[in-house]
Structure 1
């Protein structure tokens, strides 16, 4: 139980931390990428302004006086392209010239490819007349930018993993420290419950035996006294059952009390059916059994008897007269599956998650678990979990319930 709580706390902590770190890393990455892109845009703008200064209008034509050395453009993975006023290409220099059609209205363009190329288009204004005489488009490969961002992604990813690993180790230590006093308190409470239940059994047995003797020889007893003794006997029986249930729950997860031996589940179930034969006959229930073969398991026979006794008792008690109880045993690859199904009054869907809670009871007008100590299914779940198995339940109001117990063979 506490290990599951530890795991949930650790997982919740790591998920929250991973979410915060993820948002932080994405923010850093976006800001860094935007900053690098802005720097490239500024460099291209300066280069374009310098190139536009070397263009002039002569004889109704755009004349380029190019002072930019081609090798320098190639070394910087840049290129230049000049256009006239109509958008016709006049001159290209450099390797990374984009092939996107020229547009007078789009300032920045990015061409997807290997590598990506970013370009900026600037107008060329005649310095003498202040008229538009053409355009210059400056381009640069984004390969270096992509390599830088890839390195950044690796650094941020590795940093996040290291941070999560370090935080996970710290979270395990802190979780253990936080859970330790809770576990100690829980163990003391369980020990107190076990001790109290054990100590209460003796005086209750004394009361029960004395009341039984008094009722056996009730010839000289007044009728009102006899009724009082019968009430005392009934209350004593309830108290004995309650203390026995509390004692079982308190000792349910003690490994040294789990006596393992080869057990035939079919024999246990058949014996329990014989013990409840009178109840089944009284209610005229149709009991259907389906065991394809003997089902052997290494386990504690007494605990398994209590487990299936509680489930069968519930099925009998909450199935109306002339109802059907179906019990089936299946041998799986590494487990044995026992299904106990009835046509009882069923359980409301909103209560399915609560039925294994100790002392939990539904609304009495729609209750499936009236009577008893309220610990029957809690005991069932504790025994199943102690054996390393699972128990599932499905139910519908007015139709019935189905409990499936799966126990590992070894």
Structure 2
């Protein structure tokens, strides 16, 4: 574990690690959650099917005595009509002890009930303790807030070969035992899911770390190669540049036909030197971003920006672009002055490069939540929304709307982002094609420049 942590020096890989782990856990939560719900619904359906099957068997058995029960009801009704003073109501229980001495009675459980209705859904008789007081609905039904399950079937008689509806039989059973089983099942599935997610999280953490090890190793080797190659290329490029400068300083020794060739070599050498310096700077920044540089000092950010605007005002006028500023004073950040100058020079020059004649570039400052926001806004050609996530990538060039300018290598914004991160800040961009772009740099401020 410690070897892995020590190998992770780049914040991007730490973020990638957590993103992979989060994606893995999200998928596993979805799988485990779906499986848990499916298992619960499957067993609940089986338990309720068992209740329904018992109720159907009971109702079919009770249907064989429908005619007898109907006749007994008619007899009780006649006795009631003959002597209304002695009988205050129709006695719909079929015997005194609540039991029917017929074969189906052995099928009824203590938590079940049976009811007989005529064709007009009028109660003829009942037996048992579970007798819901609700309207009659053929088929399966759960009533009393899910506490009672009922089944209602129709009873027919044959008359001259035709079926005649005699009435209905409704059987009922409490779902209390089923709910007890389902409650235990919910607890079991819940605890099992928590245990499974815990083990999945531990396993996912280990798997993502193991899977990232070769990637991190390759990235570290690539960064080391970039730093080494950039360092080693400086000497031969310097030798080539010096040789070309010496040759061009004695034009009388150069054949006129070779003048353009030497100019091309000088231009290519200068471009390669700039690229090598940029790559070397980025390699050093990558190695220092996660550490606190002891050379950081209080920097008056407003004064740096004011000097930059004054310095770049003339190039802006040459391009017929208005360069304005709205700056604050007495705002200090802990930083490296040279790197901050490079950061904001890249942003302002980038804005000037992609702003057409007659346009405007504005440099402004705002303070918010112990931070200073430095913005560079232009009225240039803008960046397409689909390209915004890539503007800070190294060597990134946009589509035809933002062509490579002379001397441009696609490293300026990458360097700007690296410097912002080096100062524990961040850089963001908003843009719209044909309207312009705005780059904002947030840096933490210090309350007392002497500290």
With the length of structure 1 as denominator, give the TM-score of the two structures: 0.87
Residue number among 117, 123, 139 corresponding to 1:89 in the alignment:
123
* Equivalence map 1:184-199=2 (5 Å): 184-199=217-232
2-structure distance, mates of 1:281, 1:339: 20
Tell me which of 86, 104, 109 is aligned to 2:141: 109
Taking the TM superposition and a 5 Å limit, the aligned residue runs for 1:150-299 are 150-218=183-251, 221-255=254-288, 256=291, 258=293, 259-299=295-335
Distance in 1 of aligned mates of 2:219 and 2:378: 36
Question: Would the alpha carbon gap of residues 98 and 368 (structure 1) be closer, same or farther in structure 2, given more than 3 Å must change?
Answer: farther
Shift of 1:41: 1.1
1:3 is aligned to 14
- Closer, same or farther in 2 for the Cα pair 1:4/1:370, shift >3 Å? farther
1:40 matched to 2:51? The reply is: yes
Q: Say if 1:307 and 1:380, in contact at 8 Å, map to a contact too.
A: yes
Answer with 191-200 or 132-141: which moved more.
132-141
Local SS of the residue matching 1:346:
coil
Query: What do you get for the CA RMSD once the two structures are aligned?
Result: 3.2
Whether the 8 Å contact between 1:392 and 1:405 is mirrored in structure 2 is: yes
In the aligned structure 2, how far is the partner of 1:369 from the partner of 1:220?
35
Asked if residue 99 in structure 1 is aligned to residue 133 in structure 2, the reply is yes
Q: Deviation string for 1:76-99 (max 9, x for gaps)?
A: 543333323321123455554333
2:387 aligned residue (351, 359, 368): 351
Q: Does 1:366 align with 2:366?
A: no
CA shift for structure 1 position 377:
1.6
- The alignment status of 1:61 with 2:74, answered yes or no, reads yes
Following superposition, the deviation at residue 241 of structure 1 comes to 0.6
Unpaired stretches in structure 2, ≥5 consecutive residues: 1-11, 77-92, 101-105, 447-451
Other structure's SS at 1:121 match: strand
Q: Residues 76 and 389 (structure 1 numbering): CA distance in 2 closer, same or farther, change over 3 Å?
A: farther
The answer for the alignment partner of 2:35 in structure 1 is 24
Structure 1: 5+ residue stretches without partners:
none
1:217 Cα offset (Å)? 4.8
Aligned mate of 2:370, from 319, 324, 334: 334
Distance in 1 between residues matched to 2:349 and 2:170, nearest whole Å: 87
Q: 1:392 Cα shift?
A: 2.1
Equivalent residues of 2:381, 2:434 under 8 A apart: yes
Instruction: Give the Cα–Cα distance (whole angstroms) in 2 for the partners of residues 47 and 355 of structure 1.
Output: 75
1:131 CA drift (Å) = 7.2
Q: Structure 1 residue 198: deviation in Å?
A: 1.1
- The verdict on how the C-alpha distance between 1:33 and 1:320 changes in structure 2, with shifts beyond 3 A counting, is same
Q: CA–CA distance in 1 between the matches of 2:118 and 2:231?
A: 102
Residue 118 of structure 1 corresponds to which residue in structure 2? 149
Distance 1:174 1:95, change over 3 A: same
**Counterpart of 1:254 in 2: which secondary structure?**
helix
Q: For the structure 1 residues 245 and 112, does the alpha-carbon distance in structure 2 shift closer, same or farther, using more than 3 Å as the test?
A: farther
Bigger drift between 180-189 and 147-156 goes to 147-156
CA–CA distance in 1 between the matches of 2:263 and 2:247?
10
Residues 159 and 204 of structure 1, relative CA distance in 2, 3 Å threshold: same
Q: Encode CA deviations 1:35-75: one digit per residue, 9 max, x unaligned.
A: 010111122234434544565143772876457559x9999
Contact 1:251 1:257 in 2 (8 A): no
Deviates more, 1:268-277 or 1:73-82: 73-82
Q: How far apart are the structure 2 equivalents of 1:311 and 1:182?
A: 32
Task: Indicate the SS of the match to 2:114.
Answer: strand
- Secondary structure of residue in 2 paired with 1:358: coil
CA distance in 2 between counterparts of 1:36 and 1:150 reads 13
Deviates more, 1:203-212 or 1:318-327: 203-212
1:353 match: secondary structure: helix
